[in-house]
Amino acid sequence: MSQSSDSDAASQASTLEDEQESFETFQLKVIQLCIDIGLGAPSEVERMTGGSFNRIVGFAFSSPNGQTSRYVIRIPRFPFNSTRAQNIGGRVAVLVYLSNYLPVAKVVAYNCTRENAIKSQFVVQERLPGQSIESVYDTLLVEERLQLTAAIAELVQSIESVLIPQFGRLVLSAPIPEASHNVSQFSSNEIGVAGYRLNVSTDMPTTNKESLLSLLRVMCKSRKEEDEDDNELRGYWQKLQEMITEMESADLLSNMKEEARLGHWDLSAQNVLVDKVDGV
């Protein structure tokens, strides 16, 4: 079976498993959505393999001069309730902020409501070129792997050069419209920092101007309290607290105040795209 056939089979299986509308009828709604948000009718609509939480559809527009503009639309596999729908705005705000520092996919439009042609929240982004490192690495020459290694090192350096106000995760700090077809008007000042996620709806405390040691202790304490009724998990967090103390005694953890820097918790070979450039 070819790679494209494998992808189609996986997408069809996912559609059935999640009880989603078939692509054949759903793509007609995607076309209508493109028209409604001012992009026009696409010349191509493509079934793409989505992830655990989002259905992905690709589409493109061809211009008279032969240029093709490509986009993707990310759609929650299960429409969010009113509380979780605000996460869409948060993701948009984070991407707008990161675009000042990193090569992220530009957001074109979004909707935190279900009042649209596809009856779901969505985010439309420009489609980045290339393939995942995971899918092409074994085909690369030694010289190409060395170039890739250098590029990844530069990317990590760029990510870690971005300072943020305090330890935590980037979130939306100021209200933005429930829907917009002109995201370029938004300011990167609408970004804030919240505590790391304790669960889907709860954040751990933020730790402003704290040392790494203090941060780890605060996080362990919060997790231990969250898992109060689970003896096994509570024991894990207790053991981790003891390990932190032992590492401190052995001078393996700095007690100095650390600058909070941007990080990527899912920077893996399947999530980084690479593309060959002519002449390189």
- Tell me, what's the pLDDT at 19? 55
Is residue 115 included in any domain, yes or no?
yes
Average pLDDT over residues 10-29: 68
Is residue 254 included in any domain, yes or no?
no
CATH assignment of the domain containing 79 = 3.30.200.20
Question: What is the domain range of residue 45?
Answer: 3-130
**What is the pTM for the complete model shown?**
0.78
Counted domains in the chain = 1
Is residue 103 included in any domain, yes or no?
yes
Answer yes or no: is pLDDT of 266 > 90. no
Answer yes or no: is pLDDT of 38 > 60. yes
Answer yes or no: is pLDDT of 169 > 90. no
23-36 vs 3-17: helix axis angle to the nearest 10? Answer: 90
Answer yes or no: is pLDDT of 231 > 70. yes
Q: How confident is the model at residue 15 (pLDDT cuts 50, 70, 90)?
A: very low
Say if CB 161 and CB 265 are below 8 A apart.
Answer: no
Say if CB 136 and CB 145 are below 8 A apart.
Answer: no
Answer yes or no: is pLDDT of 57 > 80. yes
Is residue 29 included in any domain, yes or no?
yes
Give me the DSSP letters along 239-269: HHHHHHHHHHHTT-S--SBPPPB---TT--T
Answer yes or no: is pLDDT of 277 > 90. no
Is residue 227 included in any domain, yes or no?
no
Of the listed ranges 15-19, 28-32, 218-222, the one predicted with least confidence: 15-19
Is residue 57 included in any domain, yes or no?
yes
The residue that leads in pLDDT, 17 or 110, is 110
The residue that leads in pLDDT, 205 or 270, is 270
Please say whether the dihedral angle defined by the alpha carbons of residues 13, 16, 22 and 23, taken in this order, is positive or negative.
negative
- Residue range 67-105, pLDDT digits in tens: 899 999 999 888 777 767 777 888 888 888 898 888 888
Is residue 252 included in any domain, yes or no?
no
Is residue 112 included in any domain, yes or no?
yes
Closest CA to 151 of 273, 19, 5: 273
